[in-house]
Amino acid sequence: MGKVHSSILQRPAVSAATPATATNVNHATRMGRSLFLVGMIALLLCSRGTAQTTIYSSTFNGAASNINEKAPTVATDTAGAAASSTWRDAANSTMLYSNGTDNTTAGDSVLLPFTPENGYVYTLTTSVTFTGNPGSWVGAGFAEYYGVPGAGNAQFNQAGVNGYDWAILTESSGNLQFFTGPSTTGQEFNQNAFFTAGTGTHTLTITLNTTASAWTMTCFVDGTQAGSTYTYSTQPNITAFGITQHTLTSSSVVQWNSVSLTASGTRSTKATTATVSFSGTTVPINSNFVGLSYEKEELQTSLFTSANTPLIDLFGLLGPAVLRVGGGTVDTTGWNSIGSTTPITPAEVDTFTGFVNALPSNLTVIYGVNLEVNTPSNAESEAAYAVSDLGSRLYGFELGNEPEFYGWSFSTYLTNWQAEESAITSGVTGWDNGTGSGGWMVDASDAGQGQLSAYTDPMASDESGVVSLLTQHYYEGSTGTMQNLLATPNSTLDSLASNIVSAASGKQALGARITECGSIAAGGVLGVSNAFGAALWALDYMFTAADYGVKGVNFHGGDKSPYSPINNNGTTITAVGPEFYAMKLFSLIPTGGSMIPATVTLNPTTVNFTAYGVKGTNSKISAVLNNKEVNDTVSVSLNLGSTVSSVSLITLEAPNLFDSTGLTLGGQPITTSGTWSGGVESTLTATAGQLTVSVPPATAYLLIPQ
């Protein structure tokens, strides 16, 4: 992957063809009465007698600057909210300023992440002032997707956001429309002159009641209920809330005053159980399974230096690992400034080598060499210098990156690849001759995941005895939501992992490795790729790949990309991402183990829970229990081997799936300075290996027999 630095919602016939006009009532009086009524309604809805808690609010009293990626006034880790949340502009059109000014006529939405939990009455209250006719509707409510679906697909009435429990206000006619969603399905109310048309301030309130098994919702404008309370037969899939607008003719006449989301009640859960059993043929886990991937151009920055102690210490937390430098910029940089590429200099390789030599000795490097814009002799020259510099720290060479984007036929690609490979392997000492028996290796084809039959499979056969390691890329998708990311089983990954392992079998001595991967391609999606749920996805991804016999995975990242395991700003480490937490958990499994198939029986069958087993050399089984449910604890029964009497527990957790802060492993965070003081949190008792544990929502457990 290269480095990555609307339909109109028509009112039904009941709406007036010509907007009605009305004399505005005393606005301050009406507003005060409306807010009083809204407050009374909220109090009446607190049926459990518990106080309302504001879990989110924005008073829109900030600066005249884009609200995108800005924090709300209040954000908590309560009742499905996330304290680390930031506003997301769905179409990236600069729809809203922090002072509440509507800044664009484009159809768009601004969103905060929110996943309702059972047992609460949620009240969403928004205040908006019209100083003129904006030309179309604005609205607010809950939505299915939190993220950046892209321009032209970013309104609540479009599939990129998919509004649930949302309403629209049309200033010119006083029209209110209310939908249960997704999008415009389930229109529950549509009435002109429901509120006073023309200029003025209005309060839109939507309640979502999750205290019963069937959720309900109600809509109010200025304290007046719109229709009746709606009861869902199937719970809505909500992960966001916010404000939205259709394409306007004038945005300056819309002023958002405030938005708040309150909750009253107590989280309730349903009984969920899982029975996990382990049996079948084991698959050894490669000792250097975990890995990181960076762009080749990072050699031209001050990131990889021996003075960058925090990064060195973070890499050191992973144990045996592989660092790959390549990516899309491997073909835009070049040794000796070949062609129009940005030069890679000997001094830069020296600096990089100094960084690598400061790492633990069990970390090795896959070094990418330009293929698209290069000559065999120039490639040989760079490879010779890298071998001389890196020595035993060099795992091998990778020639080019995602060749499907070169515009070449496969035969042209193969001819150029073979010429470069031949120059390197014949001209530079230390090649392992394709046997994987020592020295540095050559891998191929490093193609994107949709290129198995076009590149990966034929390279496995054509270069058998030359290529020691078959390589491949994998991204969960090009766009994404947390629901899609955490969906299991993953047939795409199953197919890819099975294919590359089978293709390499008997042909590549070192097997197959996924040398570039991440949650969502092109840098990821804020609010998804950098949120805790991505750590639980990464666990599923790594253990599934290992289960099929993949020899390792390299998570791509660097800079501020949401999917990066480690974020940096130059040499400064700014954040440790969720994928790194998952990698660290993987590294805590006792060495020398083999994946053992896990059979999981769920009740109900829709529970989003997975489990994995690693059989140690002592025949005891370590287990990972991965609960991706939003609300529900899963009671898990399992047996880790008849000789097991006690089990160490290490927990990976965060306040909820959408939090990008507050992550802990073994009770402690992994710091940006490269330290981690966590470990075993408790010891559980097993009877002949049998035990039952309760895994909370949005939590993974690592169980290690003592």
pLDDT of residue 9: 35
Q: How far is CA 533 from the centre of its chain?
A: 7
Q: What distance in Å separates the CA atoms of residue 663 and residue 583, rounded to the nearest whole number?
A: 14
- Point out the domain boundary residue: 556, 588, 620: 588
| Residue at 527 is within a domain | yes
Q: Which of 317, 318, 322, 349 is nearest to 333 (CA)?
A: 349
Low-confidence ranges of the chain (pLDDT < 70): 1-50, 147-151
Q: What distance in Å separates the CA atoms of residue 288 and residue 704, rounded to the nearest whole number?
A: 20
* Whether residue 212 sits in one domain with residue 174: yes
**Phi/psi at 191 (5° precision):** -150, 130
Q: What distance in Å separates the CA atoms of residue 705 and residue 39, rounded to the nearest whole number?
A: 54
At 627, list the tokens.
């609960």
* Whether residue 306 sits in one domain with residue 259: no
Are 14 and 192 in contact by the 8 Å Cβ rule? The answer is yes
pLDDT of residue 256: 98
Q: Which of 85, 36, 106, 38 is nearest to 254 (CA)?
A: 106
At 167, list the tokens.
């309403």
pLDDT of residue 25: 32
pLDDT of residue 5: 29
| Residue at 654 is within a domain | yes
* Whether residue 552 sits in one domain with residue 661: no
| Residue at 18 is within a domain | no
* Whether residue 447 sits in one domain with residue 349: yes
| Residue at 51 is within a domain | yes
What pTM was estimated for this model as a whole? Answer: 0.87
Domains identified in the chain, total number: 3
Burial of 484 (0-12, 13-18, 19+ CB in 10 A): middle
- Point out the domain boundary residue: 552, 568, 588: 588
* Whether residue 608 sits in one domain with residue 583: no
| Residue at 567 is within a domain | yes
Range of the domain at 137: 29-265
* Whether residue 140 sits in one domain with residue 220: yes
* Whether residue 308 sits in one domain with residue 257: no
| Residue at 350 is within a domain | yes
Q: What is the DSSP string of 544-594?
A: HHHHHT---EEEE--TT-TT-SEEEETTEEEEE-HHHHHHHHHHTSPTT-E
| Residue at 386 is within a domain | yes
Mutual angle of helices 346-357 and 376-390, in 10-degree steps: 30
Domain of 448, CATH number, reads 3.20.20.80
Rg of the chain's alpha carbons, rounded to an integer? 28
Question: Please, what is the Cα angle at 491 between 485 and 493, to 5 degrees?
Answer: 70
pLDDT of residue 571: 85
Q: Which of 544, 486, 437 is nearest to 237 (CA)?
A: 486
Mutual angle of helices 533-548 and 491-504, in 10-degree steps: 30
Domain of 638, CATH number, reads 2.60.40.1180
* Whether residue 619 sits in one domain with residue 577: no
* Amino acid letter, residue 456: T
pLDDT of residue 149: 63
* Whether residue 120 sits in one domain with residue 66: yes
Which 8-state DSSP code applies to residue 106? Answer: S
Q: What distance in Å separates the CA atoms of residue 618 and residue 642, rounded to the nearest whole number?
A: 12
At 590, list the tokens.
């006792």
